[in-house]
A and B are shown apart, each in its own frame.
Chain A
Amino acid sequence: EVQLLESGGDLVQPGGSLRISCEASGFTFSGYAMSWVRQAPGKGLEWVSDIRRNADNTHYADSVKGRFTISRDNSKNTLYLQMNSLRVEDTAVYYCTRDGFWDSWGQGTLVTVSS
């Protein structure tokens, strides 16, 4: 069974940094590209970033470009999102999902940016 478990969400002050993680199991992690998708409270879904299987290519939404960095450790079956210069509008539940068709999702981790 495919499982994705996000962690690391926290309350952070504006301008602060945070790294969230997504541990994968039940499939060959290194064989899939992965994405982060977020959802602000009461709002719709927003794609944040994706990374190819061997991390040789990444893409970012304009809203996070230059502030967020996606990475992965295939030896640990783990996806990361380093978030710097956080803004109030980055407050959201962050989901990791398996690329292809985003057929598997984690339960999400809440990142709150507030003073």
Chain B
Amino acid sequence: QSVLTQPPSASGTPGQRVTISCSGTRSNIGSNTVNWYQQLPGTAPRLLMYGNSQRPSGVPDRFSGSKSGTSASLAISGLRSEDEADYYCVSWDDSLNGYVFGVGTRVTVV
């Protein structure tokens, strides 16, 4: 059972906006930053967002992140077919003294 709660799936049509939530507690998201990773089928994860809302170079500005209290979210605007992937949130947990992931959200472009 994952410590951070994410919806197992999300979907949208091309061009739509999709938002993925990541819910935690005071000991993880409430006290530390959140990073997001994209994993395309059969490949290693790729850093998509760090420090809650910072995009690494090369990540399109269609992707945005935010955090409020003990929850974070990732938004994909202008959804494209190549965005079909699994998306994971992760944060450090002060109580567990380790990193905790969300279960992952599979985004489908219908």
Are A44 and B98 touching (Cβ within 8 A)?
A: no
B56 at the interface (CB under 8 A from A): yes
Stretch at the interface among A17-25, A82-90, A101-109: A101-109
Interface assignment of A27: CB less than 8 Å from any CB of chain B: no
Interface size class of B (residues with CB under 8 A): 20 to 34
Tell me which residues across on chain A come within 8 A of B50, comparing CB atoms.
101, 103
Q: Contacts A102-B35, A102-B37, A105-B44: A44 and B56 contacting too (C-beta < 8 A)?
A: no
Within 29-77 of B, Cβ neighbours of A (below 8 Å) are at: 35, 37, 39, 44-47, 50-51, 56
Does the CB pair A101–B88 fall under 8 Å?
no
Q: How large, as a class, is the contact surface on chain A?
A: 10 to 19
Q: A45–B44 contact, CB under 8 A?
A: no
A1 at the interface (CB under 8 A from B): no
Residue positions of B touching A, CB distance < 8 A: 2, 35, 37, 39, 44-47, 50-51, 56, 86, 88, 90, 96-104
* A102 pairs with B47, CB closer than 8 A: yes
Distance to closest chain B CB from A85 (angstroms)? 19
A-B contact pairs, 13 of them (CB 8 A): A44-B104, A47-B101, A61-B98, A101-B35, A101-B51, A101-B56, A102-B35, A102-B45, A103-B47, A103-B50, A105-B44, A105-B45, A106-B44
B86 contact set on A, CB distance < 8 A: 44
Query: Chain B: which residue is nearest A99 at the CB level?
Result: B99
C-alpha spacing A25/B79, complex, angstroms? 35
Judge whether A45 and B88 touch: CB under 8 Å. Answer: yes
Contact flag A108-B44 (CB < 8 Å), given A44-B2, A59-B97, A59-B98: yes
CA distance A95 to B46 in the complex (A): 12
